[in-house]
Amino acid sequence: MTKTPSPVGQIGDYEIKQLKIFKVVADCGGFSAAETELNISRSTISIHISNLESRLNLTLCRRGRAGFALTEEGIVVYEATVKLLGELEDFRNTINHLDIQLSGNLTVLFSDNISLDQRAGIPDVIRQFSKLAQEVYLTADVARMSEIERMVMQEEADIGFIPFHRELEGLEYQHIYTDVCYLYASNKNPLAKLNDDELTDEIIDGFPVAYAGMKTQERINGHLANMNLKATAYNYESRMALLLSSRFIGYLPELYAKPYVERGELVAIAPERRSFQLEIMAITKKTNALNKVRSLFINIMRDHYRSQGR
């Protein structure tokens, strides 16, 4: 019968020690193999694991003639332990970078409306960063994706936030969130008046399209390959203006278009087959050079996204 876990309450140094021992035992595949790694006796290891199980009111592992194995609860606790110890290490690294007063400059660049997207949490990240780096001069700006990539590569900018469209050697990528993009038309556009049966690919592809004007991933280019490309509008704001004119149709992220859809100004066209996913990434330059200001921002950013389950 599965035990009901006890409320954990506050976790102190002793519990952290027990969790570290539990992780080593699990990684080694048993108590005997963990003796050398931990440099303590098997009986001491057994006491720590038993105390941890009592603390949690859970059976974490089976040990005996059949061998060592984690229980279902043990697997969950193990995964949570790995995450917890990783966060502690990130915290330790962040604090260790604060051994001197941070100063200098940090330049962060954004594509389109990423800086204010709630999923990116940029205001929260900057708030935490500013508390620890009050003397750092911060520059935040908006630029085209290719310009952001160039500036990060040439160290004219420290961090960039862009939709993922290619992978460049020399850059590191961290996934932030994923957009779903649909094909939209103004409510005054002739396509908005047609029902699903009438919205054939031939009719849709014949209508003038406003798009970003750049080559991107093949799966996204595939949606544009047969369409009637008649206008370039890189930024979402300018693309929206063209769509609302009713002359053009075009792709936009679902959340960006949502207020216009709710007001009835935009209509999604054939959403079941005219959509694609767009991954939003944070990019930094691959380098071994120590930059405490940039490292602090990146660590805070990663901790924030980890806390959000991303």
Amino acid identity of 31?
F
pLDDT at 111: 94
250 and 242 in contact (C-beta within 8 Å)?
Answer: yes
Determine whether domain 178-277 maps to CATH 3.40.190.10: yes
Q: Residues with Cβ < 8 Å from 267, sequence gap 6 or more?
A: 184, 185, 186, 187, 189, 191, 192, 261
Residues 6+ apart with CB under 8 A from 34: 21, 24, 25, 27, 28, 45
**Better pLDDT: 245 or 2:** 245
CA atoms within 13 A on the CB side of 275: 14
Domain ranges for the chain, please list them: 15-97, 103-176+280-309, 178-277
- Using alpha carbons, select from 29, 175, 16, 26 the residue that is nearest to residue 84: 16
Helix, coil or strand: residue 139 = strand
Confidence of residue 1 (pLDDT cuts 50, 70, 90): very low
CB 75 within 8 A of CB 39: no
The C-alpha atoms of residue 301 and residue 91 are separated, in whole angstroms, by 12
Strands 275-285 and 171-186: antiparallel
What token pair was written down for 148? 């952001």
**Res. 94: pLDDT tops 70:** no
**Highest averaged pLDDT of the listed ranges 33-42, 50-59, 239-248:** 239-248
pLDDT (mean) for 206-210: 96
What distances in angstroms separate CA 54 from CA 1, 84, 185, one per listed residue? 16, 20, 61
Is residue 151's pLDDT more than 80?
A: yes
103-176+280-309 and 178-277 share one CATH topology?
yes
Query: pLDDT tier at 73 (50, 70, 90 boundaries)?
Result: very high
Dist CA 251 CA 244 (whole Å): 13
Q: What is the pLDDT of residue 292?
A: 87
pLDDT digits (tens, 9 = 90+) for 124-138: 999 999 999 999 999
**E strands, 81-146, in order:** 103-110, 135-142
Residue of higher predicted confidence among 79 and 306 = 79
3-state SS, one letter per residue, for 167-234: CCCCEEEEEEEEEEEEEEEECCCHHHHCCCCCCCHHHHHHCEEEECCCCCCHHHHHHHCCCEEEEECC
Confidence of residue 2 (pLDDT cuts 50, 70, 90): low
The token pair that represents 122 in the structure block: 């940029």
Q: What is the pLDDT of residues 260-293, one digit of tens each?
A: 999 999 999 999 999 999 999 999 999 877 788 9
Buried b (16+ CB within 10 A) or exposed e, 264-279: ebbbbbbeeebbbebe
At 59, which amino acid appears? T
Identify the band that residue 87 occupies on the pLDDT scale cut at 50, 70 and 90.
confident
| pLDDT digits 0-9 by tens, 216-260 | 777 778 888 899 999 999 999 999 999 999 999 999 999 999 999
- Percentage of residues in the chain with pLDDT exceeding 70? 94
Residue 46 corresponds to which tokens in the numbers above? Answer: 């057994």
Label residue 105 left, alpha or beta by phi (over 0 means left) and psi (-120 to 50 means alpha). beta
Residue 160: what pLDDT? 97
Q: For all residues of the chain together, what is the average pLDDT? A: 89
Residue 261 confidence (pLDDT): 97
pLDDT > 90? residue 310 = no
Architecture of domain 103-176+280-309: 3-Layer(aba) Sandwich (3.40)
Q: Specify the pLDDT at position 98.
A: 53
Q: Which CATH fold topology does 15-97 show?
A: Arc Repressor Mutant, subunit A (1.10.10)
Return the sign of the alpha-carbon dihedral for residues 129, 135, 141, 147: negative
Q: Say yes or no to pLDDT of 182 above 50.
A: yes
CA distances from 208 to 198, 287, 288 (A): 18, 44, 48
Strands 266-268 and 135-142 come out as: unpaired
Q: Are 285 and 172 in contact (CB under 8 A)?
A: yes
